[in-house]
């Protein structure tokens, strides 16, 4: 992991590294979520958490959820969804923050944590620095009446699918075209084939059997 612009943990694209090597550990994920809640949502709010298909994503999802809920922030868990989809759905679902757990094209041994603001944009350097100041402090746990709530919103992924299909140029058509869609066993393994199928293409999807360890393995980019 390489931090930048005077930040200890955040690099150019969130916090990234090899799973199990600090800072990509379960306890750090809890701390950064708790810190983000205290730094950016001191009065509470709602956070959307999405991920790709890496095995470690389940661990980090649970840790982030715990950190936010302990600090009094509600959490919506949307499951596997491409990074732009998490950004889009953060705004669409009126969330105050979005978090995606992903290391993009890297192998399954790596992972990362990236934050979005309420409009689906990247956090500013200043806000990331603010979050980092809270990471060094002990995590807080509110009393039972003040804890956040966590819910699963997997069914909302269809909204991103509809958005992608909806922005396809109206004057163009792929109806009847035979398309091979390589999903790299990654976050788009459900959404991508459905988007092209909804546009009436003849779709042959490959790389749609993620097992937690085969993301980008012999497929994709």
- With 0-12 / 13-18 / 19 or more C-beta atoms within 10 angstroms meaning exposed / middle / buried, residue 188 is buried
pLDDT score of 138 more than 80: yes
Predicted local distance difference test score (pLDDT) of residue 1: 52
Q: Output the pTM of the full model.
A: 0.94
**E strand segments, the chain:** 15-18, 46-51, 74-80, 97-101, 110-116, 150-152, 178-182, 202-206
Question: Residue ranges of the domains in the chain?
Answer: 15-155, 159-206
Predicted local distance difference test score (pLDDT) of residue 12: 83
Q: Would the CATH topology of 15-155 be identical to that of 159-206? A: yes
pLDDT confidence tier of residue 6, bands split at 50, 70 and 90: confident
pLDDT confidence tier of residue 77, bands split at 50, 70 and 90: very high
Predicted local distance difference test score (pLDDT) of residue 74: 98
For the record, the structure tokens of 13 come out as 């694209």
Predicted local distance difference test score (pLDDT) of residue 13: 85
pLDDT confidence tier of residue 43, bands split at 50, 70 and 90: very high
pLDDT score of 157 more than 70: yes
pLDDT score of 63 more than 70: yes
Sheet of 97-101: strand order equals 15-18, 110-116, 97-101, 46-51, 74-80, 150-152
Which of 5-19, 59-73, 163-177, 201-215 is predicted least confidently?
Answer: 5-19
Residues tagged active-site: 104
Predicted local distance difference test score (pLDDT) of residue 218: 87
How does the average pLDDT of the chain come out, rounded? 95
- With 0-12 / 13-18 / 19 or more C-beta atoms within 10 angstroms meaning exposed / middle / buried, residue 218 is exposed
- β-bridge partners, 156: none
Residues in contact with 6: Cβ distance below 8 Å, sequence separation at least 6, in sequence order: 125, 129
Which architecture characterizes domain 15-155 according to CATH?
3-Layer(aba) Sandwich (3.40)
pLDDT confidence tier of residue 190, bands split at 50, 70 and 90: very high
Eight-state DSSP code of residue 11? B
Rounded to an integer, the average pLDDT of 24-44 is: 98
pLDDT confidence tier of residue 7, bands split at 50, 70 and 90: confident
Q: Cβ(59)–Cβ(95) under 8 Å? A: no
CATH number corresponding to 159-206:
3.40.120.10
Predicted local distance difference test score (pLDDT) of residue 2: 55
């Amino acid at each position: 992991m390489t931090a930048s612009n005077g930040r200890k943990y955040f690099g150019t694209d969130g916090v990234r590294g090899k799973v199990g090597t600090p800072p990509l550990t379960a306890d750090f994920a809890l701390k950064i979520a708790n810190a983000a809640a205290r730094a950016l949502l001191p009065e509470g709010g709602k956070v959307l958490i999405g991920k790709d298909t890496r095995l470690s994503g389940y661990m980090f999802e649970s840790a982030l959820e715990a950190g936010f809920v302990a600090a009094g922030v509600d959490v919506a868990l949307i499951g596997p969804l491409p990074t732009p989809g998490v950004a889009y759905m953060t705004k669409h679902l009126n969330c105050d923050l979005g978090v995606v757990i992903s290391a993009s094209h890297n192998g399954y041994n790596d992972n990362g944590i990236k934050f979005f603001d309420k409009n689906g944009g990247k956090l500013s350097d200043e806000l990331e620095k603010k979050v980092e100041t809270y990471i060094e402090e002990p995590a807080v746990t509110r009393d039972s009446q003040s804890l956040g709530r966590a819910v699963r919103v997997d069914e909302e992924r269809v909204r991103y699918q509809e958005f992608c299909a909806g922005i396809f140029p109206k004057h163009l058509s792929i109806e009847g075209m035979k398309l091979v869609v390589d999903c790299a066993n990654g976050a788009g393994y459900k959404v991508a084939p459905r988007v092209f199928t909804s546009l009436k293409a003849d779709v042959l999807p490959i790389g749609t059997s993620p097992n937690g360890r085969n993301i980008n393995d012999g497929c994709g980019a």
